[in-house]
Structure 1
């Protein structure tokens, strides 16, 4: 039976590993964790995209059965311990505070997800700098790419699963299109690579860039003001799908990323996917209202004569035209991109 190891203080932890994954994550995580030994000398924190109404026990049980690490759901205030794996609970972000303890919050969704990968990667980079190893595995869209960039900027090591090895290659491929990682490897080689990397002495960490600190504080709900977000970029003529507020385009190079002052954050791909979802919801509502209008006009026409009858029938026919147009749009299944699939 696996036993919890002795808790070490944050300053005593020489390396820390963070992992992000989405679709296909159950297989990928169990395959990776099965390669690590019980005395693995670093704590591991994992974000797997999961629906808000799930409890995550299937993944947690699978990790405990397939590997030798001590795997638990993360709880707010926990101290990190080597040989332990901390899994983000459903509908909560998993982060690390600047004292090196676990932070579990109900903050705003990032990239349509809670838990999301970027908040974990960002907060861990701020807290641990060059001691951090970030891993991005299989999944849809591009959550985790911005987080890996932050890890690189803070001196950490970035590992991406080879897209050819990933069950769902979108996340690894999108990350590779936007940054140069330290390693791109299949799952079968990742365990031995981790063992080598955690045994190496970390380089000295430099100061954390101000924009990274601001975003980390916003995600942790320490900051929520216009001045802070204005420092990150410029307002754009798009509304936040999460709260309806104004969005700012974050200035970080060619990759488009957006954030509102409440804390919602999107890459261009996830913003497009969320807009598509909202549009589809609106279309279904409009379809229902037009069908109700047609049915009411048809019912009214049964008791009418003359001009009133003709007017009701014409208005019902016009409603039928609108119904046909809306159905045609919905049946076209235009998702905007090939990857706008909820995770």
Structure 2
């Protein structure tokens, strides 16, 4: 397997807590761009970013239009905008209608990231109360990427990981505490 270039993570209900566990476990030497789409929060992106900074060894940044997906940085989708990755690995933000009742939508991020990185992308679906991310994870697998799904029995809200398994399947379906160690193994030389 070729070394992954990026990790795209999607979550909803219960996602802020799950992200703190996952990001807190990522190795400080990780060189992949990490993209996060979480649509369960009501606070601003700035507050969300600060919460994640407290636990992450990697820097946390809000994704900005036309900025590049930097290796070793966690890029957070801004509130109220879909986050897309263009073929040149720059970000695009969209105020298009909600997808799966959400903006930002995990499917929108996953679909564009799959086209940008192909088989060098890992998609991660965590806890959530709807099916957002399932079709996008299927797209990641169609492009040869790797699918990681939090075990539904372990999730605060099982609907999202279960939908991902039903629609896309998974290369790895593991409890939350095992996801960061798995990503470290897949990504570090």
TM-score by length of 2: 0.94
Asked whether the 8 Å contact 1:39–1:82 carries over to 2, the reply is: no
* Alignment partners' CA distance in 1, 2:146 and 2:163: 18
1:44 and 2:31 correspond: no
Measure how far apart 1:87 and its partner are: 0.5
Measure how far apart 1:14 and its partner are: 5.0
1:86 and 2:75 correspond: yes
How many matched pairs? 187
Residue of structure 1 equivalent to 2:139: 150
Asked whether the 8 Å contact 2:134–2:163 carries over to 1, the reply is: yes
Which of structures 1 and 2 has the larger relative contact order (alpha carbons within 8 angstroms, sep 6+)?
A: 2
The aligned runs of 1:94-109 (5 Å cut-off) are 94-109=83-98
* Alignment partners' CA distance in 2, 1:180 and 1:171: 12
1:172 is paired with a residue whose SS is helix
Measure how far apart 1:56 and its partner are: 2.4
Residue of structure 2 equivalent to 1:20: 10
Asked whether the 8 Å contact 1:144–1:175 carries over to 2, the reply is: yes
Q: Where do 5+ consecutive residues of structure 2 fail to align?
A: none
Residue of structure 2 equivalent to 1:31: 21
Asked whether the 8 Å contact 2:4–2:186 carries over to 1, the reply is: no
For residues 32-64 of structure 1, the C-alpha deviation after alignment (integer angstroms, 9 at most, x for no partner) is 00001222110100000056x742233211110
1:121 and 2:73 correspond: no
Asked whether the 8 Å contact 1:64–1:70 carries over to 2, the reply is: yes
Measure how far apart 1:109 and its partner are: 1.3
Which one has a larger percent helix, Structure 1 or Structure 2? Answer: 1
Asked whether the 8 Å contact 1:42–1:83 carries over to 2, the reply is: yes
Asked whether the 8 Å contact 1:50–1:56 carries over to 2, the reply is: no
Residue of structure 1 equivalent to 2:186: 197
TM-score by length of 1: 0.53
* Alignment partners' CA distance in 2, 1:157 and 1:122: 13
Residue of structure 2 equivalent to 1:130: 119
1:183 and 2:162 correspond: no
The aligned runs of 1:1-343 (5 Å cut-off) are 14-50=4-40, 54-199=43-188
* Alignment partners' CA distance in 2, 1:115 and 1:152: 21
1:41 is paired with a residue whose SS is coil
Asked whether the 8 Å contact 1:158–1:183 carries over to 2, the reply is: yes
Residue of structure 2 equivalent to 1:276: none
Structure 1 residues 167 and 50: CA distance shift in structure 2, 3 A: closer
Q: Where do 5+ consecutive residues of structure 1 fail to align?
A: 1-12, 201-343
Asked whether the 8 Å contact 2:13–2:40 carries over to 1, the reply is: no
